[in-house]
């Protein structure tokens, strides 16, 4: 009994430490983002609480010696890039996982080939891509060379998520559909896809977030029009101001918003299916 | 005459890519409205055969005919069959009603007709109270009936059932077994029913196909299968038979004699006399219900055959008593009798006993040469 209590204490302390390390950096950053500006710096103590740096990020603060963050266009690029990467990687990952439901000749080789995309160090891949582009005379752009690498990087994650989903998927449900006279294509649309949809949502989330804050691959391949992580890194070279922290807080809130949308979509997909069946019965009645 | 044959298998054969032969030489003709059961140990090829009929498994060679049309290379969705799976394969994202309607909706039938047919079958199978529920809210028996309703609503020519009672508890299995048989009779629909349980196969099938190691061992009506096995495998697998091994001494059309360690035994031969010759290994098969038991020393009846042994154990189960009898060091048989038949006969573990039976109850079987 006593030993058990001791163990519980140790585990509780461990959990507390874990949470401290997980949220600590963000909490410190969030507090410092309310530092007085423009004279207050990225350190304690807080001179006075203010929303100056938030106004600064949004470009509504009075002009001062601190240059505005060069993020407007970079943010748009990052969002477009993350969205496109999400769409392509999720489709590719789902189709590949579907192909892997049956063992085919060389399937394990192809498996490791795909997984390589997330295993190879990003710096190497970015540098290599830059060299290839240089040799082949392909211009380095965020929507070209960088986009390709984002897909190479996120596609294995989507693939693995969908592989896990299909692993638990009971194929007899599809066989039942075929045996009712439903073609394989319609079966995929009406039976398979609705059943794997939660997995598809997770794959999309993975692809989007991984692409959105991807750094090393983008650094070497995006060319002069940079994405948001590169733009932020660029400001470090000069001097760090709390406006960066304010931006960090806003970005994190954006991520939470995405997660909320994900959660709502999940709940809706369950509820809509129920509502549709009731609606269908009423419609026919 | 051939018009009422619903299903015909001609030398059906399945070879897996690795070279494993799952099924071979399967010939079968099933009449319209017949309930045919496939039974055999796991891995015998019964489910593979069912899946070949359903179109879920490709046919390596041979022909599959449904109502005289060749369906050998036709994909599953174009076959006039419906399949009931062991795990029911309910669509989890649809309600009971939607599950049943699905097969009709993709056929683009008018919604009034869909409603009429779905409501009718839901009513017939007593699923009305759960029509709006999803899989998670259904009990085992309800899932079973839903799977049936979903298959039947599309009006297939043949219903294929793959161990449909396997996931139910024993009591439910018994009652659904009866329901299923009744339903099949009312509909007059051809059922192909796969099971590993001989009791299900024997009680439900008009005819039973016994399979072993990818081959058909016997196709017979249940009683014939039970009393006249055609191979040593069937004799061991079906019923509770006492089997005494020996070598074939003489064989005529209606009577064969085998020489055994316990003397000559005769019975009706079911083997191919063209292939099994004198001196070949053969077995006398006596269903345990047909074996009488008494203490040694009683008057032996001239019209009965029999052997002597030693009683080793009595296992009463209610009115029935299972008696184990050691014939020699290599052979112990088990027979079933009633409590009254034993009382006052001086039979107890350790006593010498005499087993007897009518020779015409015996079947002589032999392995195919």
At a CB cut-off of 8 Å and minimum separation 6, what does B115 contact?
A: A284, A285
d(CA A116, CA A152): 9
Take residue A6 and report the two structure tokens written for it. Answer: 């001791």
Whether A148 has a pLDDT exceeding 90, the answer reads: yes
pLDDT score, position A232: 83
- Nearest CB among A172, A182, A285 relative to B85 is that of A172
CB-based contact (8 Å) between B92 and chain A? Answer: yes
Closest C-alpha to B187, from B90, B120, B142: B120
CB-based contact (8 Å) between B81 and chain A? Answer: yes
3-state SS assignment for residue B265: strand
d(CA A49, CA A51): 7
Q: Which residues of chain A have a CB within 8 Å of the CB of B93?
A: 194-195, 273
Contact A190 B102 (CB under 8 A): yes
d(CA B301, CA B286): 18
CA angle B74, B77, B82 (to 5 degrees): 110
Q: Are B102 and B121 in contact (CB under 8 A)?
A: no
pLDDT score, position B66: 94
Dmax (CA) of chain B: 80
Burial (Cβ within 10 Å: 0-12, 13-18, ≥19) of residue B312 = middle
CB-based contact (8 Å) between B111 and chain A? Answer: yes
The CATH architecture annotation of domain A72-238 reads Orthogonal Bundle (1.10)
pLDDT score, position B300: 66
Query: What is the CB-side half-sphere exposure of residue A256 using CA atoms within 13 A?
Result: 6
Encode pLDDT of A67-77 as tens digits.
777 778 888 99
Interface test with B, best of A174, A180, A189 (most B CBs within 10 A): A180
Query: What CA–CA distances, in Å, run from B361 to A82, A232, B226, B268, B327?
Result: 80, 94, 11, 8, 20
Q: What's the pLDDT band for A270 if we cut at 50, 70, 90?
A: low
d(CA A12, CA A135): 56
Residue B111 CA to chain centroid, in angstroms?
41
Mean pLDDT (chain B) is: 90
Q: Is the peptide bond before B257 cis (omega within 30 degrees of 0)?
A: no
Whether B358 has a pLDDT exceeding 70, the answer reads: yes
Contact A179 B94 (CB under 8 A): no
Interface test with A, best of B91, B137, B159 (most A CBs within 10 A): B91
Domain ranges for chain A, please list them. 72-238
Q: What's the pLDDT band for A285 if we cut at 50, 70, 90?
A: very low
E strand spans, chain B:
5-15, 21-31, 35-39, 61-66, 69-70, 81-84, 158-162, 190-195, 207-212, 215-220, 241-251, 256-260, 263-269, 281-287, 292-295, 305-317, 320-328, 331-338, 352-357, 363-365
Chain B: residue nearest A171 by CA?
B89
Chain A with chain B: Cβ pairs closer than 8 A: 90
What percent of chain B is modeled with pLDDT above 90?
55
d(CA B193, CA B128): 26
Take residue A204 and report the two structure tokens written for it. Answer: 């999309």
Q: What's the pLDDT band for B252 if we cut at 50, 70, 90?
A: confident
d(CA A29, CA A251): 12
Encode pLDDT of A199-238 as tens digits.
999 999 999 989 998 999 999 988 888 888 888 888 777 7
Contact A194 B93 (CB under 8 A): yes
What's the mean pLDDT in B9-28? 93
Shortest alpha-carbon distance between residue B158 and chain A (Å): 11
What's the mean pLDDT in B58-80? 94
CB-based contact (8 Å) between B119 and chain A? Answer: no
Bridging pattern class, strands B305-317 and B215-220: unpaired
Q: For A178, which DSSP code? A: H
d(CA A52, CA A150): 35
Contact A182 B101 (CB under 8 A): no
Contact B132 A278 (CB under 8 A): yes
CB-based contact (8 Å) between B82 and chain A? Answer: yes
Whether A169 has a pLDDT exceeding 80, the answer reads: yes
Q: Are B39 and B208 in contact (CB under 8 A)?
A: yes
- Nearest CB among B89, B98, B101 relative to A176 is that of B89
Contact A195 B93 (CB under 8 A): yes
> Which residue would you say has higher pLDDT here, B264 or B295?
B264
Bridging pattern class, strands B292-295 and B331-338: unpaired
How far from each other are the two terminal CA atoms of chain B, in whole angstroms? 35
Encode pLDDT of A176-203 as tens digits.
999 999 999 999 999 999 999 889 999 9
Which run of H or E residues covers position A44?
none
Contact A175 B89 (CB under 8 A): yes
- pTM, to two decimals: 0.81
Chain A: residue nearest B54 by CA?
A179
């Amino acid at each position: 009994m006593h030993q058990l209590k001791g163990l519980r204490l140790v585990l509780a302390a461990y959990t507390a430490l874990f949470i401290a390390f997980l949220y600590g950096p963000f909490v410190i950053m969030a507090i410092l983002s309310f530092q007085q500006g423009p004279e207050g710096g990225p350190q304690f103590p807080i001179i006075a609480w203010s929303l100056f740096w938030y106004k600064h990020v949004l470009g509504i603060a009075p002009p001062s010696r601190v240059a505005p963050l060069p993020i407007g266009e970079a943010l748009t690029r990052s969002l477009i890039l993350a969205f496109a990467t999400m769409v392509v990687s999720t489709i590719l990952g789902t189709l590949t996982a579907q192909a892997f439901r049956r063992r085919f000749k060389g399937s394990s080789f192809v498996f490791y080939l795909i997984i390589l995309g997330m295993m190879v160090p990003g710096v190497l891949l970015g540098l290599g891509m830059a060299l290839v582009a240089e040799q082949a005379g392909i211009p380095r752009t965020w929507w070209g060379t960088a986009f390709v690498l984002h897909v190479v990087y996120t596609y294995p994650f989507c693939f693995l998520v969908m592989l896990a989903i299909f692993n638990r998927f009971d194929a007899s449900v599809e066989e039942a559909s075929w045996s009712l006279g439903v073609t394989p294509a319609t079966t995929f649309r009406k039976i398979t896809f609705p059943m794997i949809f939660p997995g598809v949502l997770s794959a999309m989330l993975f692809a989007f977030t991984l692409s959105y804050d991807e750094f090393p691959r983008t650094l070497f391949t995006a060319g002069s029009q940079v994405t948001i992580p590169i733009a932020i890194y660029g400001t470090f070279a000069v001097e760090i101001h709390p406006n960066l922290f304010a931006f960090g807080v806003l970005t994190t809130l954006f991520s939470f918003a995405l997660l909320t949308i994900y959660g709502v979509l999940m709940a809706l997909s369950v509820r809509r299916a129920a509502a549709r069946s009731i609606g269908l019965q009423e419609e026919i009645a | 005459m051939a018009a009422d044959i619903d299903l015909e298998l001609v030398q059906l054969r399945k070879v897996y890519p690795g070279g494993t032969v799952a099924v071979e030489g399967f010939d079968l003709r099933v009449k319209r409205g017949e309930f045919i059961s496939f039974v055999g140990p796991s891995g015998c090829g019964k489910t593979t055969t069912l899946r070949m009929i359903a179109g879920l498994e490709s046919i390596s060679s041979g022909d599959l005919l449904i109502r005289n049309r060749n369906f050998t290379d036709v994909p599953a969705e174009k076959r006039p069959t419906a399949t009931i799976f062991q795990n029911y394969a309910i669509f989890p994202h649809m309600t009971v009603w939607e599950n049943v309607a699905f097969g009709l909706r993709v056929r683009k039938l008018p919604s009034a007709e869909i409603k009429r047919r779905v409501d009718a079958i839901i009513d017939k199978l007593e699923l009305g109270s759960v029509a709006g529920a999803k899989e998670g809210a259904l009990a085992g028996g309800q899932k079973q009936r839903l799977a049936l309703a979903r298959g039947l609503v599309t009006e297939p020519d043949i219903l294929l059932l793959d161990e449909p009672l396997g996931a139910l508890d024993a009591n439910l299995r018994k009652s659904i077994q009866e329901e299923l048989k009744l339903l099949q009779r009312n509909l007059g629909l051809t059922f192909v029913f796969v099971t590993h349980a001989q009791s299900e196969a024997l009680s439900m099938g008009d005819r039973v196909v016994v399979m072993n190691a990818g081959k058909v061992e016997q196709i017979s009506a249940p009683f014939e299968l039970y009393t006249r096995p055609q191979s040593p495998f069937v004799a061991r697998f079906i019923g509770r038979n006492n089997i005494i091994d020996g070598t074939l001494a003489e064989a005529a059309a209606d009577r064969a004699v085998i020489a055994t360690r316990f003397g000559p035994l005769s019975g009706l031969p079911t083997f191919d006399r063209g292939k099994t010759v004198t001196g070949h290994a053969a077995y006398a098969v006596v269903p345990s219900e047909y074996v009488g038991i008494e203490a040694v020393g009683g008057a032996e009846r001239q019209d009965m055959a029999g052997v002597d042994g030693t009683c080793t154990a009595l296992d009463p189960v209610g009115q029935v008593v299972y008696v184990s009898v050691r014939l020699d060091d290599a052979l112990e048989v088990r027979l079933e009798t009633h409590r009254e038949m034993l009382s006052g006969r001086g039979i107890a573990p350790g006593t010498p006993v005499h087993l007897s039976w009518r020779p015409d109850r015996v079947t002589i079987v032999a392995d195919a040469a």
